Amino acid sequence: MSYYRSLFKDETKLDINYIPYALPHRESELRLLKEFFSFALQSPEKMTQRVIITGDVGTGKTALSQRFGAEITHEAAKRSVNLYYVHVNCREYRGSLFLILQHAVSVFHPNFPKRGYSAEELLGMLMQMLDEEKAHIILTLDEFESLVENEGNEAVYKITRLPETRPDKPQRLSLICIMRELKVIERLDASTRSSLQSNIIGLQKYSKKQLVDILATRADLAFKPSAVPEDTLEMIAENAFSENGNARFGIELLWRAGKYANADEQYTVTAECVRKAVSSIVPAMRRSDLESLSLNEKLFLLGVARIFKQNKNASVTLAEAERTYAIVCEEFNTSPVSHTQLWKYLRGLTGSGILKAEVIATGTRGRSTIVSLPRIPASELEKELDNLLENEKT
């Protein structure tokens, strides 16, 4: 009888909805966001704020905003300030202002009827609820593009200019608008734009090193100690970096690689698990890509595949790959090509994304080329190449 042994300690820490306590490399942006909303803890009725967060996919916009929301509401509760943070993904509500407001209203009245009034009336009702509760709400409109695309200028105008429509009353509604690019708001008229554009937090794409830090933090939370070796994290970070510095992609890859490691009954999450995970997310290898390779390219690649199949490391030196290639050539009764020619093959294979090559300094002995197989599982690659080479023989 076998017992299920998992490398995970708590895989929910890799879930897309998990809000981490620490946001590596977004600390200053979090502080800035708190600074923008510091009034909400001191005199929430006296003013209102509008902030834009921009950044590419996976740069931490949603996580930053939700972490901020959790922290400010916690602080507000400690100070007995009636503050709500409501995060709405506009795309999930088809970019409809009516549905977005309905979600906000449901925070106060979960059974509020779903029909029978307009978005404008609903906004009035939300303000009435906030007045009655003496509450301030920070409404985050994630994927703001969707609201602009669907509703255009008028809906955005209604919510951004709300404070001006009730000048003598307490201020109740602040906004955080999350979007990938600022050009989304170019579609809005000048006055709406000006009311939005005053505070902008732009999130830059993560570097590879930053991605390693983020993945290491999550791996510590989600996996048992030593389950994810450093070079595996580096490999996942490399993949996430090539996906435009997308941390979310990296975290998903980490989870998936963990699943493959469990399924293969591994003691650690190996480089091969990452390759399997990548190939399950993106179609990394097309058979036709391999078919078009020359015989020696296929033999070289077969050698690399065999190394990685036996070896749990994420990369090997070109010298080692070359030695294995020579053995494969013997097996196929072919003379190996020169080192220079092999270099050209390597460049072609890296260009097509099958292999990855990196020149690194090796102390006093000069430089060395490191070869890795970032996306395709070695076992799968070997199988494909064996089939192709078998067909060529016959």
In the complex, minimum distance from the CB of residue 102 to another protein, in angstroms, rounded to a whole number: 12
Residue 107, interface with another protein (CB under 8 A)? no
Work out how close the CB of 192 gets to another protein at its nearest, in angstroms, rounded to a whole number.
25
- Name which of 110 and 366 has its Cβ closer to another protein: 110
Nearer to another protein, 128 or 207 (CB): 128
Query: For residue 211, which of 243, 259, 246 has the smallest C-alpha distance?
Result: 246
User: Among residue numbers 34 through 93, which ones bind another protein (CB under 8 A)?
Assistant: none
Binding mask 190-229 for another protein (x = CB under 8 A): ----------------------------------------
Residue closer to another protein (CB basis): 39 or 117: 117
Question: Going by C-beta distance under 8 Å and a sequence separation of 6 or more, which residues neighbour residue 66?
Answer: 19, 87, 140
Pairing of strands 83-89, 50-55: unpaired
> Exposed e or buried b for every residue in 283-294, given b needs 16+ CB within 10 A?
ebbeeeebeebe
Nearer to another protein, 113 or 366 (CB): 113
DSSP of 347-371, one letter per residue? Answer: HHHHHTTS-EEEEEE-GGG-EEEEE
- Phi/psi of residue 308, nearest 5 degrees: -70, -25
Specify whether the CB–CB gap between 34 and 67 falls below 8 A.
no
Q: Which of 2, 17, 113, 164 binds another protein (CB under 8 A)?
A: 113
Of 243, 267, 270, the C-alpha closest to 254 is 270
CB of 121 to another protein, least distance (A): 5
Closest to another protein by CB, 10 vs 133, is 133
Q: Cβ(139)–Cβ(40) under 8 Å?
A: no
Say how far residue 237 (Cα) sits from the centre of its chain. 11
Residue 7, C-beta contacts closer than 8 angstroms, at least 6 positions apart:
223, 224, 227, 228, 258, 261, 262, 266, 267, 268, 269
14 or 129, CB closer to another protein?
129
Candidates 110-118, 155-163, 204-212, 247-255: pick the segment binding another protein (CB under 8 A).
110-118
| The residue to which tokens 């430089």 are assigned | 367
CB burial of 103-118 (b: ≥16 within 10 Å; e: otherwise) equals ebbebbeeeeeeeeee
Query: Closer CB to another protein, residue 111 or residue 226?
Result: 111
Give min distance, CB of 97 to another protein, in A.
16
Which of residues 3, 28, 46, 110 is near another protein by CB under 8 A? 110
Cβ-based nearer residue to another protein, 121 or 331: 121
Identify which of residues 104 and 355 has a Cβ nearer to another protein in the complex: 104
Binding positions for another protein, 117-156, rule CB under 8 A:
117, 121, 124-125, 128-129
What's the Cα-to-Cα distance from 187 to each of 32, 178, 207, 261, 374, rounded to whole Å?
A: 27, 16, 31, 48, 41
Structure tokens at 14: 């890799």
The separation between CA 277 and the C-alpha centre of its own chain, rounded to angstroms, equals: 15
Query: C-beta of 272: minimal distance to another protein in Å?
Result: 52
Place of tokens 């399950």: 280
Query: Contacting another protein (CB under 8 A), which of 112, 157, 332, 343?
Result: 112
Total of residues contacting another protein (CB under 8 A): 12
Q: Which of 107-115, 141-149, 274-282, 319-327 is the region at the interface with another protein (rule: CB under 8 A)?
A: 107-115
How near is the Cβ of 113 to another protein at its closest, in Å? 5
Query: Please, what is the minimum distance in Å from the beta carbon of residue 242 to another protein?
Result: 51
Interface residues with another protein (CB under 8 A) are 109-113, 116-117, 121, 124-125, 128-129
